[in-house]
Amino acid sequence: MRNYIFVTFVLSVVLSGCSQPTPNGMPKLQSVTLSFTQEGEPLAEATVVLVPQFPCDWTIGGLTDASGSVKLRTHGKYEGAPAGQFKICVSKTVTEGELPKMDASSAVVPTIPTYEVVEPQYGNAQKTPLEIEITAGKKTFPPFDVGKAVKAKQIAPPM
């Protein structure tokens, strides 16, 4: 009997260490995977942010993989998202060319052309048509499409 209690105790300690405890006040998180396409193809390396349509102090989102899928995380490290209604913002930035070499005497920091390749409406919480309701038990959803590819040059902020 003593061995049974000891083994049970050790297993409970080990297994409880497998998941990181959530901070005080964080709601129960639902495991959710979303996928995104653009012109019928998976949208890889896109930033996905869920904007809660209810009072919430937690950031929710992630980065899509090569198949266009993202497993949502809250505050970047807790797997899942709280239940509720959300707007979905999606953006993807690409660069062209290589950063020019800079020598020590140069006073100007070289830049590289940067472009947004997802229509701007999808990155704006007030304009995005993408919405989702996360509920307990629902882990996957049909793919979300972000329309046609664009190439909108980003203006570097002044230094």
pTM of the full predicted structure? 0.78
Q: How confident is residue 110, by pLDDT bands cut at 50, 70 and 90? A: low
* pLDDT (0 to 100) of residue 22: 75
pLDDT digits (tens, 9 = 90+) for 31-82: 999 999 999 999 999 999 999 999 988 899 999 999 999 999 999 999 999 9
More confident position, 1 or 74: 74
Q: How far apart are CA 150 and CA 28, in angstroms?
A: 37
Burial of 136 (0-12, 13-18, 19+ CB in 10 A): exposed
Q: How far apart are CA 48 and CA 97, in angstroms?
A: 25
Say whether pLDDT at 11 is over 60: no
C-alpha 100 chain-centroid distance: 31
Q: State the CATH architecture for 26-91+122-146.
A: Sandwich (2.60)
pLDDT digits (tens, 9 = 90+) for 67-81: 999 999 999 999 999
* pLDDT (0 to 100) of residue 153: 85
Over the range 45-64, which residues count as b (16 or more CB within 10 Å of their CB) and which as e? Answer: ebbbbbbbeeebebebbbeb
Rounded to a whole number of angstroms, the distance between the first and last alpha carbons of the chain is 69
Contact between 81 and 32 (Cβ < 8 Å): yes
* pLDDT (0 to 100) of residue 56: 87
